[in-house]
Amino acid sequence: MTDRISNTFNSTVGGAKQTIGETIGNNNLAASGAQQKAQADAAQKAADAKTHAEGVGHKVQGEIQQNVGSLTGNTSMEARGHANEVRGDLERKV
């Protein structure tokens, strides 16, 4: 979550620097701001992709745990599987 906050902050600050630079005619400030914003946006997309992939893994793990727990009568494993599946669903939606 801290990466998301950091990326959002850097994207916002970069965009502001770009706008101010363009407004006052300072090309260096505008370029610096554009670069900061682009880096933050790319970092956020990478973080989102990683979280999505982790979510897929947790969902699959949960489905397996549920099935094995159901077949073996292990209700604890079945419950853990359900929890992992829900966790995976949530991670994929973030």
Reply yes or no on whether the pLDDT at 42 is more than 80.
yes
Q: pLDDT tier at 91 (50, 70, 90 boundaries)?
A: confident
Reply yes or no on whether the pLDDT at 94 is more than 80.
no
Q: Return the higher-pLDDT residue of 4 and 11.
A: 11
Number of domains forming the structure of the chain: 1
**Region for 74 from its dihedrals, namely left if φ exceeds 0, alpha if ψ lies in -120 to 50, beta otherwise:** beta
What range defines the domain where residue 77 resides? 4-92
Q: pLDDT tier at 63 (50, 70, 90 boundaries)?
A: very high
Looking at residue 85, the DSSP 8-state letter turns out to be H
